Amino acid sequence: RRKRDNVRKLRGPPAPSWLLGHEPEMRVQAEAGDLDFAWTREYGATLKTKACWGRQEVLTADPRVLQHILHTSGYRYPKRPDVNQSIRNLMGRGIVWASGEVHQRHRKVMNPAFTSQQLRGFLPLFQSTASRMTQKWKDSIQAGDQTINVSHWLARSTLDAIGETAFDYHFDALEGAQSELSESLKYLFADTTPFPPAWDLLFKALWRYIPTSILQLVEYMPSKEYRRFRNFKTLTKGIAKGLIDQKAKIPMEDDATRDVMSILCKSNVSEDPNCRLDEDEILSQMATIMFAGHDSSAATLSWLLYELGRHPEDQTRMREEIQHLRGRLPSGTDFTMAHLDSLVFTNACIKEVLRLHPIVSTLFRTADRDDILPLALPVITEDGQTMTELHIRKGQDFRLSVCAYNRLPSVWGDDADEWNPRRFLDVPKEKQINIGVYANLMTFSAGVRGCIGWRFTLIELQAFTVEVVENFKIVFPKDIEIMRMALGLMVPMVKGKMHEGTQMPLHLSLAEE
């Protein structure tokens, strides 16, 4: 006989309001993830929270529950309907929005563009972009300005890199070219999503009850967030359309470019309907990649340079490792992928920044059927019992806390809140449940919908990190405090200067001095 749902028995923080639940509190956290950390410490890795209109949610960082929802269950825990509609508002009918069989088709078409072999070919491009960026920094230092807002330059560089690798398109953002698209990306989330008005929270919570055919129309709402999302989507699709038309003039067999869009365009003429994307899907895919593929690497790199600036001993160790490898190569030779992969400490620092600063801090899912979820980390219920299994009903919403899982002491050790790349040099594997696509982290999610771009990012992170650390000593300025803000992605801002937007000012000097 089916057991009753036991979500009610979970402990959790009292909700300040029935109408809005914990939503406002979660959106205005002083720093992204602070509540997740505090609550999982107090109530255990699985707890209940309240959404709008009194709806009960489960917030979890439990590795077995995450594995069950994201991995073992395939498509049985789709994205929350309101979250998915917001994705559609921003990126259209691309892979991040698609679900079930449609998603499977998208993934099948996209996968060939993201194989390691394909991506390794992008390394020289990442290296030359990184080197153009560091030349700008050298010019700035020589001109007497040692404070570099690294996130500004990283955003431009990664935009150039994604433009060329994904579209074969030159934004020339590093050279200071302003494009409507780069401007649109800059202001996509500024001053809207973190502090949405109560009406918008309540309105979005009702989206699950609106049939999709009607819900689609919300994209035309006149308020700021909706307008910005619409503008971004229209711009990117417009650029993609121009490029597709250009490519259509080149006979397929003569088109030797290996960019993502060429691969997608080829799918458009595939005979197999399971491998075909229609034109709107291809255009949406490009909006998706533009969004998912540029800021994420820039934000992660900013956080890495921040941590290296605060931990000079690790920075020196990384530089020595790179210089040691450089010393063994004939001068003027670029590092290959095999060289980059051999930098054990550098790669441990990259894993550590992905662990400590996951730029997507929460994933939202809903159960499409009743289910029983085993807990790896049992919790104490409101009536003092130990709960080892969570019994849920169809429609149960989940907040999957990527940031809290990445800091679970039971997985990462007692210093899980601290920066310590050495943990990746000697990981006690027996303590960990195997989840995620990389290094047992939740940062790239897991399972059928895990990040398709994780290898792309890793190569980009490796190329940029090596270029910067080999060339510069990084010092974190004493007189500022950096905040982790959840603005769509988790980005750095200077405390007291939030109105200036994303920034990470660091003091740089030439490493060889």
Output the known binding site.
451
Contact 49, 59 (CB under 8 A): yes
Q: Among residues 359, 387, 411, 490, which is the contact residue for ligand HEM, using CB under 6 A? A: 359
288 part of the interface to ligand HEM, by CB under 6 A: yes
SS3 505: strand
Q: Give the sign of the dihedral formed by CA 124, CA 125, CA 129, CA 132.
A: positive
Stretch that binds ligand HEM, among 206-214, 334-342, 358-366, 469-477 (CB under 6 A): 358-366
Q: Among residues 363, 463, 482, 504, which is the contact residue for ligand HEM, using CB under 6 A? A: 363
Q: Among residues 81, 421, 436, 453, which is the contact residue for ligand HEM, using CB under 6 A? A: 453
Strand order in the sheet with 397-401: 46-50, 56-60, 397-401, 362-366
Stretch that binds ligand HEM, among 15-23, 52-60, 189-197, 289-297 (CB under 6 A): 289-297
Give the C-alpha distances (Å, rounded to integers) separating 85 from 54, 190, 205. Answer: 21, 20, 11
Distance CA 509, CA 457 (A): 26
- Residues 6 or more apart whose CB falls under 8 angstroms from that of 485 comprise 31, 32, 194, 491, 492, 493, 498
293 part of the interface to ligand HEM, by CB under 6 A: yes
Q: Among residues 58, 148, 289, 459, which is the contact residue for ligand HEM, using CB under 6 A? A: 289
Stretch that binds ligand HEM, among 187-195, 359-367, 465-473, 495-503 (CB under 6 A): 359-367
236 part of the interface to ligand HEM, by CB under 6 A: no
Q: Among residues 60, 184, 296, 471, which is the contact residue for ligand HEM, using CB under 6 A? A: 296
Q: Among residues 244, 377, 452, 506, which is the contact residue for ligand HEM, using CB under 6 A? A: 452
**In angstroms, what is the minimal distance from the CB of 405 to ligand HEM?**
12
CA angle at 438 for the pair 437 and 439, rounded to the nearest 5°:
135
The residue (of 288 and 420) whose beta carbon lies closer to ligand HEM is 288
SS3 40: helix
Closest CA to 357 of 311, 313, 293, 297: 297
The residue (of 392 and 451) whose beta carbon lies closer to ligand HEM is 451
Question: By rule CB under 6 A, what count of residues binds ligand HEM?
Answer: 22
Which residue ranges are tagged as binding site for heme? Answer: 451
Q: What residue spans of 328-475 are helical by DSSP H?
A: 337-341, 344-356, 402-405, 409-412, 454-471
DSSP 8-state code for residue 72: I
The residue (of 55 and 108) whose beta carbon lies closer to ligand HEM is 108
Q: Among residues 69, 91, 95, 375, which is the contact residue for ligand HEM, using CB under 6 A? A: 95
What backbone phi and psi angles, to 5 degrees, belong to 270?
A: -65, 145
How many angstroms from the chain centroid is the CA of residue 181?
20
Contact 76, 266 (CB under 8 A): no
457 part of the interface to ligand HEM, by CB under 6 A: yes
Q: Give residue for tokens 């400490």.
A: 345
304 part of the interface to ligand HEM, by CB under 6 A: no
The residue (of 66 and 215) whose beta carbon lies closer to ligand HEM is 66
**In angstroms, what is the minimal distance from the CB of 29 to ligand HEM?**
19
What backbone phi and psi angles, to 5 degrees, belong to 495?
A: -60, 135
Residues in touch with ligand HEM (CB under 6 A): 95-96, 107, 288-289, 292-293, 296-297, 300, 359-360, 363, 443-445, 449, 451-453, 456-457
